[in-house]
Amino acid sequence: MHFVAANPAFEARVRASFARQAAMRFIGARLADVAPGRCTIELPVHPDLSQQHGFVHGGIVGMIADSAGGYSAFSLMPDDASVLTVEFKINLLAPARGDLLIAAGAVVKPGRTLSIARADVFARENGRETLIATLQQTLMVMQGVADEPT
């Protein structure tokens, strides 16, 4: 699906908001691509992120998928709106291992009050990418709420 961004400065807005997410910086995630209704987040794998079997923790996979879906939705929102995750559901399909995780978010249906998005997460290992998780998500458009902390 192809969308048109209501705000021509959508990319700068998404990048500024992502930069305010201390949690993304803390785990080492970076914002790769931003397009209207789409957003890709990359996370280099490091040992601090692992669960008991040595793979990346499913909750960390959920974090980048949640942010990828959320910023996909945010890219289509007007200038005076902010985004909030209402809920998400994620299936973990394969162990999160390799050197890089890539969460690719995409809006399914933008709305005035709620937006629905998806995100697929891939793990890159030895130059090969495997789908390791898929997320379905409901986001709220908060009209008139600044994206900065107050």
Question: Contact residues for a copy of itself (CB under 8 A)?
Answer: 17-18, 20-27, 47-54, 56-60, 62-67, 82, 84-94, 108-109, 113-114, 116, 131, 134, 136, 138, 140, 147-150
- CA-based nearest residue to 135, from 125, 121, 124: 121
Q: Is the dihedral of CA 112, 114, 120, 121 positive or negative?
A: positive
Q: Which residues have C-beta within 8 Å of that of residue 45, sequence separation ≥ 6?
A: 56, 96, 97, 98, 99, 100, 101, 123
Nearer to a copy of itself, 12 or 114 (CB): 114
Entry field: residues in the chain: 150
